[in-house]
Amino acid sequence: MSPAKPRQYSRAFTPKPGAARRQLSIDNVPPALHRAIKAKAKRDGVSVRALVLSYLERWTAEPSEPAR
């Protein structure tokens, strides 16, 4: 078995020195989904943190739809 390659830690989301930091946690994630996320991230060599932050960044850049 070959050694695992280190995950790429995204520097795109590194807080600036002295900047406020916030912690975001997601609870009640179904166990099967959690396992699938962790396994795919490991296979792809990326961190779940980078995936979530890049998704949230793209999502907040999209225009919002009007409320119904």
Asked if residue 35 is part of any domain, the answer here is yes
**pLDDT surpassing 80 at residue 2:** no
Asked if residue 5 is part of any domain, the answer here is no
Asked if residue 20 is part of any domain, the answer here is no
Asked if residue 8 is part of any domain, the answer here is no
Asked if residue 42 is part of any domain, the answer here is yes
How many domains does the chain contain in total? 1
Q: Which domain holds residue 51?
A: 31-61
Mean residue pLDDT across the chain: 84
User: The whole model's pTM is what?
Assistant: 0.66
Instruction: Reduce the secondary structure of the chain to three states and give it as a string.
Output: CCCCCCCECCCCCCCCCCCCCCCCCCCCCCHHHHHHHHHHHHHHCECHHHHHHHHHHHHHHCCCCCCC
Give residue-wise pLDDT tens across range 15-60: 778 878 788 899 999 999 999 999 999 999 888 988 999 999 999 9
Asked if residue 44 is part of any domain, the answer here is yes
Asked if residue 46 is part of any domain, the answer here is yes
Asked if residue 40 is part of any domain, the answer here is yes
